[in-house]
């Protein structure tokens, strides 16, 4: 059984009831990373949004077939691989690995498909062939462009007035600025010596950036999809161009039913971005000793359609909020003998769980969902203070926390493992050794394991100190 869910569809400009073609296979495509560097936490706001979308739909009874693309060819990648004297694949592989590690660190669930642009070149060429047949393209100096004036619906998603558009003005880089209405490149003739290129009936070259999403959707789903997501900066021109390509190449097929766009993470009121230099990578924050759970909590605790100003102080608040919820869970769990709290609540906590689900069903309203949780916690703490939480209600409440944790993946709904001082010291020694060997993955894992069982490490000038939470 699925529960109805409402989404703010950017195409419609309003909330509407979500009607997937098949609730047992909801098709979702999300624009993913360009792999030439570490992603910053602004990027991760978009990916956490995708994770919340995924986990919410699953909690509401839907089954998913989800894709996030990996852009492994663009101007920056080409330039840097030439500079470093390595192939595109050699250059991008470590960045893809780092991206996947970061997803794990932030407890972002893996989706079903992570296609790479370089694996979908033939599908992209096929789209250009169809666009040629349908008379949407022209050639200039060896490159192929999409003539946006030929596509009557251009501007419908972004609601741009295209009447004053610059016809024949061309765009052939991978960098686009908002509000630029120009014909965009589909197939780019090579410009640099040694630049990676592919053969096609349009000559040697490589695809323009927009093309990969249209091609991958077609390749993976063979037709249109239920939901397409991306950061708000992608709404125009990227998503507008995706529509122009897909509808131009396959005019009789539906493309995207629901468009969802995530607002930006800001720093001092400005979009966090690599080009502005105002960014933190996830790893920057981890080296400052910040718990990834606080980052996840902060990024999901604001509604995805509101701007979020990032600050370290906000991460500290996030950490306190996590602790408030965790303390209540620990207070209840301490009195329980059993360990298995799986399954959804059916008694005392059922209505609170429904409030939580209803908030998610209202356009993924995570702040509202958190509001219902904090209200409930207040009530439970009063009961605990007065010894009024019965055994049965306590267990039902732990089922509630376990269930909401399917969304958060932040809390520990189990008893703390008791660990003695010698064991702690031995793990600290192992971590020091791992750090010496620059094995930061292991050293981070040890720190996280200790943190999970309530042991906080502090790197001080006089060595590593530890304390219980
Ligand atoms: P990029 O690697 O720049 O193509 O971005 C990858 C994803 O991150 C896209 O969905 C962008 O819209 C998104 N993104 C980039 N910067 C931010 C930001 N400051 N806040 C939220 N999402 C962002
Ligand atoms: Zn895309």
Residue range 215-258, pLDDT digits in tens: 999 999 998 999 999 999 999 999 999 999 999 999 999 999 99
Q: Higher model confidence: residue 236 or residue 161?
A: 236
CA of 35 to the centre of ligand 2 (A): 14
DSSP E strand stretches across 310-416:
none
Residue 244 sits at φ, ψ, to 5 deg, of -60, -40
d(CA 11, CA 210): 18
Question: Is 316 in the same domain as 335?
Answer: yes
User: What band does 166 get if pLDDT is binned at 50, 70 and 90?
Assistant: low
Among 370-374, 395-399, 422-426, name the one with the lowest average pLDDT. Answer: 422-426
Range of the domain at 309: 267-408
Q: What is the CATH number of the domain that holds 119?
A: 3.40.50.620
Residue with tokens 């349009």: 202
Among 104-108, 164-168, 307-311, 336-340, name the one with the lowest average pLDDT. Answer: 164-168
Provide, rounded to the nearest whole percent, the portion of the chain with pLDDT above 90: 78
* Per-residue model confidence (pLDDT) at position 49: 98
In a domain, 150, yes or no: yes
Closest residue (by CA) to atom 12 of ligand 1?
231
d(CA 129, CA 302): 43
DSSP 3-state percent helix, strand, coil across the chain (nearest 5):
45, 15, 40
Question: Is 253 in the same domain as 387?
Answer: no
Question: Is 284 in the same domain as 385?
Answer: yes
Among 13-22, 175-184, 244-253, name the one with the lowest average pLDDT. Answer: 175-184
Provide, rounded to the nearest whole percent, the portion of the chain with pLDDT above 70: 97
CB count, 10 Å around CB of 430? 14
Contact 34, 342 (CB under 8 A): no
In a domain, 402, yes or no: yes
Contact 348, 393 (CB under 8 A): yes
Best probe residue, ligand 1, of 36, 233, 273, 274 (max atoms within 8 Å of C-beta): 233
Structurally, the chain folds into a number of domains equal to 3
d(CA 227, CA 28): 5
Please say if the pLDDT value at position 168 is more than 80. Answer: no
Q: Which residues contact 364 (CB under 8 A, 6 or more apart)?
A: 7, 49, 52, 53, 56, 303, 304
Question: Is 247 in the same domain as 314?
Answer: no
* Per-residue model confidence (pLDDT) at position 272: 96
* Per-residue model confidence (pLDDT) at position 354: 98
| Domain finish residue from 243, 262, 281 | 262
d(CA 257, CA 224): 8
In a domain, 415, yes or no: no
Question: Is 452 in the same domain as 428?
Answer: yes
* Per-residue model confidence (pLDDT) at position 455: 83
DSSP assignments along 167-213, one per residue: TT-EE-SS---TT---EEEEEE---STT---B--TT-SBEE-TTHHH
Question: Is 64 in the same domain as 208?
Answer: yes
The length of the chain, given as a count of residues:
469
CA of 278 to the centre of ligand 1 (A): 13
d(CA 409, CA 292): 11
For the stretch 165-174, contacts whose Cβ atoms lie closer than 8 Å and that sit 24 or more positions apart, written own/partner, are 170/140, 170/145, 172/143, 172/145, 172/208, 173/75, 174/74, 174/75, 174/76, 174/208, 174/209
* Per-residue model confidence (pLDDT) at position 412: 93
Question: Is 163 in the same domain as 304?
Answer: no
Among 172-181, 261-270, 397-406, name the one with the lowest average pLDDT. Answer: 172-181
List pLDDT tens digits, range 433-461. 998 888 888 888 888 888 877 788 888 87
Maximum Cα–Cα distance for the chain, whole Å? 80
In a domain, 413, yes or no: no
d(CA 107, CA 435): 23
Element (H or E) spanning 386, and its range? Answer: none
* Per-residue model confidence (pLDDT) at position 160: 84
| Ligand of minimum distance to the alpha carbon of 216 | 2
| Domain finish residue from 262, 283, 316 | 262
Contact 358, 366 (CB under 8 A): no
CA of 361 to the centre of ligand 2 (A): 25
In a domain, 450, yes or no: yes
Please say if the pLDDT value at position 163 is more than 80. Answer: no
Element (H or E) spanning 258, and its range? Answer: strand 256-262
In a domain, 242, yes or no: yes
Structure tokens at 145: 């462009």
* Per-residue model confidence (pLDDT) at position 299: 98
| Domain finish residue from 230, 262, 294 | 262
Please say if the pLDDT value at position 8 is more than 90. Answer: yes
Q: Higher model confidence: residue 6 or residue 275?
A: 6
Q: Which residues contact 250 (CB under 8 A, 6 or more apart)?
A: 130, 218
Please compute the mean of the pLDDT values over residues 179-183 and round it to a whole number: 79
* Per-residue model confidence (pLDDT) at position 167: 66
Please say if the pLDDT value at position 331 is more than 70. Answer: yes
CB count, 10 Å around CB of 123? 19
* Per-residue model confidence (pLDDT) at position 445: 87
| Ligand of minimum distance to the alpha carbon of 211 | 2
* Per-residue model confidence (pLDDT) at position 115: 98
Smallest CA-to-CA distance from 136 within 109, 161, 154 is with: 154
* Per-residue model confidence (pLDDT) at position 376: 98
List pLDDT tens digits, range 102-136. 999 999 999 999 999 999 999 999 999 999 999 99
Distances (CA, A) of 138 to 41, 182, 213, 339: 39, 13, 21, 66
In a domain, 373, yes or no: yes
Helix axes 292-301, 41-59, angle to 10 degrees: 70
* Per-residue model confidence (pLDDT) at position 179: 66
Please say if the pLDDT value at position 422 is more than 80. Answer: no
* Per-residue model confidence (pLDDT) at position 223: 87
Question: Is 116 in the same domain as 250?
Answer: yes
Please compute the mean of the pLDDT values over residues 171-191 and round it to a whole number: 82
Burial level of 414, CB count in 10 A (0-12/13-18/19+)?
middle
Check pocket membership of 249 for ligand 1, CB cut-off 6 A: no
Question: Is 84 in the same domain as 195?
Answer: yes
List pLDDT tens digits, range 59-70. 999 999 999 999
CA of 183 to the centre of ligand 2 (A): 17
Burial level of 387, CB count in 10 A (0-12/13-18/19+)?
exposed
Q: Is there a cis peptide before residue 278, judged by omega within 30 degrees of 0? A: no
Nearest atom (ligand 1) to Cα of 233: 12
Q: What residues form DSSP beta bridges with 309?
A: 266
* Per-residue model confidence (pLDDT) at position 423: 79
CA of 186 to the centre of ligand 1 (A): 22
d(CA 356, CA 362): 10
d(CA 272, CA 270): 6
Question: Is 123 in the same domain as 170?
Answer: yes
Question: Is 180 in the same domain as 115?
Answer: yes
Question: Is 190 in the same domain as 282?
Answer: no
d(CA 236, CA 258): 16
Please compute the mean of the pLDDT values over residues 75-90 and round it to a whole number: 94
Nearest atom (ligand 1) to Cα of 263: 21
In a domain, 416, yes or no: no
User: What band does 336 get if pLDDT is binned at 50, 70 and 90?
Assistant: confident
Closest residue (by CA) to atom 15 of ligand 1?
43
- Mapping DSSP to helix (H, G, I), strand (E, B) and coil, where does residue 296 land? helix
* Per-residue model confidence (pLDDT) at position 419: 67
d(CA 281, CA 39): 6
Among 187-196, 197-206, 350-359, name the one with the lowest average pLDDT. Answer: 187-196
Q: What residues form DSSP beta bridges with 69?
A: none
User: What band does 284 get if pLDDT is binned at 50, 70 and 90?
Assistant: very high
């Amino acid at each position: 059984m699925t529960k109805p869910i409402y989404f703010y569809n950017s195409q419609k400009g309003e909330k509407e009831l979500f009607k997937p073609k098949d609730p047992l296979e909801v098709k979702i495509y999300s624009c993913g990373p360009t792999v030439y560097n570490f992603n910053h936490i602004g990027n991760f706001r978009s990916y956490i949004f995708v994770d919340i979308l995924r986990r919410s739909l699953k909690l509401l009874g839907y089954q998913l077939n989800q894709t996030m693309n990996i852009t492994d060819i663009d101007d920056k990648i080409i330039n840097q691989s030439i500079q470093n004297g390595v192939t595109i694949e050699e250059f991008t592989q470590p960045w893809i690995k780092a991206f996947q590690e970061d997803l794990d660190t932030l407890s972002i669930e893996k989706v079903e498909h992570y296609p790479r642009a370089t694996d979908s070149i033939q599908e992209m060429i096929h789209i250009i062939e169809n666009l040629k047949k349908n008379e949407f393209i022209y050639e200039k100096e060896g490159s192929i462009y999409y003539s946006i004036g030929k596509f009557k619906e251009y501007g419908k998603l972004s609601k741009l007035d295209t009447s004053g558009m610059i016809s024949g003005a061309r765009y052939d880089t991978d960098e686009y600025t908002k509000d630029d209405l120009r014909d965009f490149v589909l197939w780019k003739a090579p410009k640099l010596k040694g630049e990676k290129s592919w053969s096609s009936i349009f000559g040697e070259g490589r695809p323009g950036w927009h093309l990969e999403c249209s091609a991958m959707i077609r390749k993976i789903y063979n037709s249109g999809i239920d939901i397409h997501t991306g950061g708000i900066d992608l709404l125009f021109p990227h998503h507008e161009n995706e529509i122009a390509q897909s509808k131009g190449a396959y005019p009789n097929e539906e493309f995207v039913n629901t468009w969802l766009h995530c607002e930006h993470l800001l720093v001092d009121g400005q979009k966090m971005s690599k080009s502005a230099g105002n960014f933190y990578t996830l790893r920057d924050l981890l080296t400052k000793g910040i718990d990834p759970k606080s980052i996840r909590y902060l990024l999901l605790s604001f509604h995805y359609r509101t701007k979020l100003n990032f600050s370290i102080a906000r991460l500290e608040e996030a950490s306190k909020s996590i602790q408030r919820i965790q303390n209540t869970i620990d207070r209840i769990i301490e009195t329980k003998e059993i360990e298995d709290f799986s399954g959804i609540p059916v008694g005392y906590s059922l209505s609170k769980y429904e409030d939580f689900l209803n908030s998610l069903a209202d356009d993924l309203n995570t702040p509202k969902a958190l509001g219902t949780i904090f209200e409930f916690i207040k009530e439970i703490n009063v009961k605990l203070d007065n010894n009024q939480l019965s055994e049965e209600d306590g267990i039902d409440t732990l089922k509630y926390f376990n269930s909401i944790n399917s969304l958060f993946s932040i809390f520990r709904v189990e008893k703390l493992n008791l660990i003695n001082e010698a064991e702690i010291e031995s793990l600290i020694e192992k971590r020091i050794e791992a750090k010496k060997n620059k094995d930061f993955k292991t050293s981070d894992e040890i720190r996280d394991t200790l943190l999970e069982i309530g042991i906080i490490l502090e790197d001080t000038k006089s060595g590593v100190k530890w304390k219980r939470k």
